[in-house]
Amino acid sequence: HPIAEYKKKRFIFREGLKRWPLTISETLAMIFRFLPKLLFAKAQLKPRTDESIGVWGRKNLGGPAVRYLLAPALQGIYAGNIERMSADSIFGKMFSNSKKTKYKGTVAPENGMGELIQALRLKIESQGTRIHLNSDYVVTDLEIPHFVCVSAKASAKVVAPVAKELALQLSKIETLSLVSVTLFLETPSRPIQGFGCLVPEGNNVESLGILSNTYIFNNRGPGYSETWILGGARSPNLIAKSDHELIQQIQQDRQKLFGEAGKIVGFKIFRWPNALPHFTLEHNTLIRQLNPPKNLYLNGNYLDVIGLSKILARTEDMVAQVKEQT
């Protein structure tokens, strides 16, 4: 199916859409810098605990590879600033002897996250558990195990009555806000015929990347649709902009990147405040100091695990730990 072929194509913007954004000389320089260490001195690749991704990348891959390959690739996952992000947090596990998760690759429900949430609800309720929606909750005693599986800032409020120091540490965790804007456009002369495009810094645009919905999903209707991702460490204040200002910004970015703003026939805007933890060097230090009391267990993407597969693996480990202690 044509869609299946298109969705395999992922682009990085460098004077146009590029599946490989490095020149031949930059690629060779990266290989000659990285490969000997990988083959003969792998220990040299292990990040130091005080080393940022930017520093680690320039040392082991070179400047162009960091700017046009590593930074945008990580930006598409973490939305952070690689000059502040901890290389040990992101790459350290590659050099550890910890067991590998059985969940490999991309894990996502076929019909979207709503399908997963509905299945979880039905499974939990079938076991006699009650779910309370739109309710505030705080832990008032630790007679029985409590699992707190919300954001760091929400967790701080939940655990405050029984663990004030832990709550203070959780409240200090830096987070990043995101905005996603789905546009419905008259088909442009230069559509993104692939999964999407990441936009490195230095292109004088605010957007982090674009998903080309028309070429990812079947049955999206006759029109052309893109989802633009903004915010993160690059533009932390964009979440406060009005709908009109966001659309204006995207049209400016689209004009700079593709030479045409596109004629918008509809749009849908989603704002995600404090959506992702910022895995900075300070964050790396802070989470290592977290020490929940007995019967209090924390889980969430701020604990060095972003992505459903990694959170599933961490959850299994946590449940096994509780079983051992009870």
- 5 pLDDT exceeds 80? no
Q: How far apart are CA 66 and CA 326, in angstroms?
A: 47
| pTM for the predicted model, two decimal places | 0.84
Mean pLDDT of 9-22: 96
Mean pLDDT of 69-90: 94
Which domains does the chain show, CATH number per domain?
Answer: 10-95 (1.10.3110.10), 113-174+279-325 (3.50.50.60), 175-277 (3.90.660.20)
User: Mean of the per-residue pLDDT values for the chain?
Assistant: 90
Q: Pick the more confident residue, 285 or 169.
A: 169
Relative to beta strand 196-198, strand 10-13 is parallel
Place of tokens 């406060």: 240
Q: How far apart are CA 319 and CA 305, in angstroms?
A: 16
Helix (H) or strand (E) holding 274, with range, is strand 264-277
Q: Give the pair of three-digit tokens for residue 261.
A: 């703003």
CB atoms within 10 A of CB 186: 10
Q: How many CA atoms lie within 13 A of 202 on its CB side?
A: 11
Asked whether 84 and 37 are in contact (CB, 8 A), the reply is: no
The secondary structure of 174-207 as a DSSP string is -EEEEEEEEEEESPPSS---SSEEE--TTSS---
Q: How far apart are CA 259 and CA 255, in angstroms?
A: 5
Mapped onto helix, strand or coil, the DSSP state of residue 110 is coil
Render pLDDT for 236-275 as a digit per residue (tens, 0 to 9): 999 999 999 999 999 999 999 999 998 999 999 999 999 8
Place of tokens 């490999």: 104
Mean pLDDT of 76-88: 95
Place of tokens 């199916």: 1
- 220 pLDDT exceeds 70? no
Q: Give the pair of three-digit tokens for residue 97.
A: 């002897």
Mean pLDDT of 7-36: 95
Mean pLDDT of 146-157: 92
Which of 222, 224, 204 lies closest to 214, judged by CA?
Answer: 224
Write down how long the chain is: 326
- 302 pLDDT exceeds 60? yes
Q: Give the pair of three-digit tokens for residue 101.
A: 């998760």
